[in-house]
């Protein structure tokens, strides 16, 4: 199959040639002809399968006829994140190089004024995240009545992010006669329902997920007996074992906090690394991504915010610092490498605590992943688990315990913490805890902290602030004359 057989316009074919694509990917080969017939499409496909071009190419062809009017976009592409929206805009810029179509990008973290000016001029293609689109609509800067083509991309990601009510609102604002191209990596019931509600007799196209196309991705596991520091050491070993082969790598952590710690640690150990997670502002995220794309940054420590839709054509390595809690995330994460026919490598660090999450991944992907140094034996796992518990116990008697205690203690004024207003069970817990610490606490700071949490020795109700009247309240007061 060639692109010439897909009934795309001459201009689009020229842009495809300029982009260096020679053969349509399976999703392109199946979705493009259906879209060009004017039919709705449900494409079940992951990123990395070429799905962006599968909606961009027919859209460009169909938009060649007609012109946009002020504030009335002709097509709308909804994306769950700013990064994805920006990447689609880039894809359109490349594939639409032969066209004179106007593209507006409505994403959060960017000034409303510039976006409004673009809308005012009229947009052939509007790419937006749902929240920002509704904000503009609410301000009366946008009319949806001329939208002939709607693309909903990464619908399952929209679901994860709680955008389905926004999507429903938007769909109801659009003309019912529009054509809808709908893409999702998975089809949970909520997404299925959405397609039944808003699409008309769609053609369903399913292309194999990276879980099965991942034949080009070498997947490995590496055992780490413990968390954090040990994991960082294991990661460095993993990276060094691949040195020479690593062109660039994304290292995924489950939590933003760990991304920041890992980033610092990598830099400290001399790796050219940056961090990407949801707490960074839009400008920082874009700059980091750009640096990574250009090869100025080699290692990108990232949270799952970056997992879906990151279009960096040739990430050579993916390291999973943590086993993702949801097995689908594993598929999304490793989908960043081995894209569009290239070879990829991924290795995941697994601690005893994470064995269950690993089993869920292997069950989803229906494949056993190979361990780098052989599968850890039951004794290994038990011993690691025991050492970790002992370590946690040891830490728990010091700083760790203090911190956990702080987290658990409600943030109330001290006087209230001391007042016996807790539920009976809570009181019992505090007593049981404090009983131990009182014994060994004579002069440590831990003891002082615990003493502060102790309930009063008697069970008589405390009047006012009890014995703990703050000093400033005892100061004499001069009455105004």
Q: Which residues bind ligand AMP (CB under 6 A)?
A: 21, 23-25, 28, 47-53, 311, 313, 339-340
Name the residue nearer to ligand AMP (CB basis): 16 or 239. 16
Measured from the CB of residue 94, what is the shortest distance to ligand AMP in angstroms? 8
- What is the b/e burial string over 13-49, where b = at least 16 CB atoms within 10 angstroms of the residue's CB? bebbeeeebeebbbbbbbbbbbbbeebbbbbbbbbbb
Q: Count Cβ atoms below 10 Å from residue 395 Cβ, excluding itself.
A: 13
* Residue 393 burial (10 A CB sphere; 0-12, 13-18, 19+): exposed
Nearer to ligand AMP, 17 or 296 (CB): 17
Q: Provide, rounded to whole angstroms, the least separation between the CB of residue 45 and ligand AMP.
A: 7
- Could you tell me which of 205, 160, 177 has the C-alpha nearest to residue 35? 205
Show the tokens assigned to 382. Answer: 């038990």
Closer Cβ to ligand AMP, 333 or 450, answer by number: 333
Shortest distance in whole angstroms from residue 158 CB to ligand AMP: 17
* CB nearer to ligand AMP: pick between 47 and 365: 47
Q: Judged by CB, which is closer to ligand AMP: 48, or 324?
A: 48
Q: Is 210 helix (H, G, I), strand (E, B) or coil?
A: helix
Specify whether the CB–CB gap between 102 and 125 falls below 8 A: yes
Minimum distance of ligand AMP from residue 104's CB (angstroms): 21
Q: Where are the alpha helices (DSSP H) in 139-281?
A: 155-160, 164-173, 189-198, 210-213, 228-241, 256-268
Q: How far is the CB of 340 from ligand AMP (least distance, A)?
A: 4
Residue 216 DSSP SS3: helix
Min separation Cβ 82 and ligand AMP, Å: 16
Location of structure tokens 């290292």: 251
d(CA 245, CA 239): 9
Nearer CB in complex with ligand AMP: 27/419: 27
Least spacing, CB of residue 276 vs ligand AMP, in Å: 17
Sign of CA dihedral 43, 44, 46, 50: negative
* Minimum CB distance to ligand AMP smaller for 48 or for 327: 48
């Amino acid at each position: 199959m060639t692109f010439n057989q897909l009934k795309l316009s001459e201009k689009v074919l020229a842009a495809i040639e300029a982009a260096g694509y020679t053969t349509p990917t399976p999703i392109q080969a199946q979705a493009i002809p259906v879209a060009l017939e004017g039919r709705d499409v449900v494409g079940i496909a992951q990123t990395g399968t070429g799905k962006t071009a599968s909606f961009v190419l027919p859209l460009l062809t169909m938009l060649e006829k007609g012109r946009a009017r002020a504030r009335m976009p002709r097509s709308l592409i909804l994306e769950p994140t700013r990064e994805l929206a920006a990447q689609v805009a880039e894809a359109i810029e490349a594939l639409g190089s032969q066209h004179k179509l106007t593209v507006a990008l409505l994403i959060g973290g960017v000034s409303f004024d510039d976006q409004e000016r673009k809308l005012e001029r009229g947009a052939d293609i509007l790419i937006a995240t749902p929240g920002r689109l509704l904000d503009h609509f609410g301000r009366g800067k946008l009319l949806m009545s001329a939208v002939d083509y709607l693309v909903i991309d990464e619908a399952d990601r929209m679901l994860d992010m709680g955008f389905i009510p926004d999507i429903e609102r938007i769909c109801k604002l659009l003309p019912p006669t529009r054509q809808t191209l709908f893409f999702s990596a998975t089809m949970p019931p909520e997404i299925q329902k959405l397609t039944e509600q808003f699409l008309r007799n769609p053609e369903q196209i399913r292309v194999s997920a990276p879980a099965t196309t991942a034949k080009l991705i070498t997947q490995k596991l590496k055992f780490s007996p413990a968390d954090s520091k040990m994991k960082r050491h294991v990661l460095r070993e993993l990276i060094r074992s691949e040195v020479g082969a690593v062109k660039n790598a994304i290292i995924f952590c489950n939590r933003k906090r760990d991304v920041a710690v890992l980033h610092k640690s990598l830099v400290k150990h001399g790796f050219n690394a940056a961090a990407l997670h949801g707490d960074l502002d839009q400008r920082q995220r874009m700059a980091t991504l750009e640096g990574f794309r250009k090869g100025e940054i080699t290692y990108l420590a990232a949270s799952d915010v970056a997992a879906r839709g990151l279009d960096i054509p040739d990430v050579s390595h993916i390291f999973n610092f943590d086993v993702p809690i949801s097995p689908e995330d594993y598929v999304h994460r490793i989908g960043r490498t081995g894209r569009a026919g290239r070879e990829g490598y991924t290795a995941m660090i697994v601690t005893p605590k994470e064995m269950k999450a690993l089993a869920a991944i292997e069950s989803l992907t229906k494949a056993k992943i190979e361990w780098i140094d052989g599968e850890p034996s039951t004794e290994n796992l038990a011993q690691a688990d025991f050492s970790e518990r002992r370590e946690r116990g040891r830490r728990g008697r010091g700083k760790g315990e203090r911190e956990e205690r702080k987290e658990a203690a409600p943030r109330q004024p001290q006087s209230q913490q001391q007042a016996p207003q807790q539920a009976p069970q809570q009181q019992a817990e505090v007593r049981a805890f404090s009983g131990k610490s009182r014994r060994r606490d004579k002069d440590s700071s831990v003891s002082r902290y615990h003493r502060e949490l102790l309930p009063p020795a008697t069970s008589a109700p405390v009047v006012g602030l009890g014995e703990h009247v703050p000093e400033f309240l005892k100061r004499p007061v001069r009455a105004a004359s």
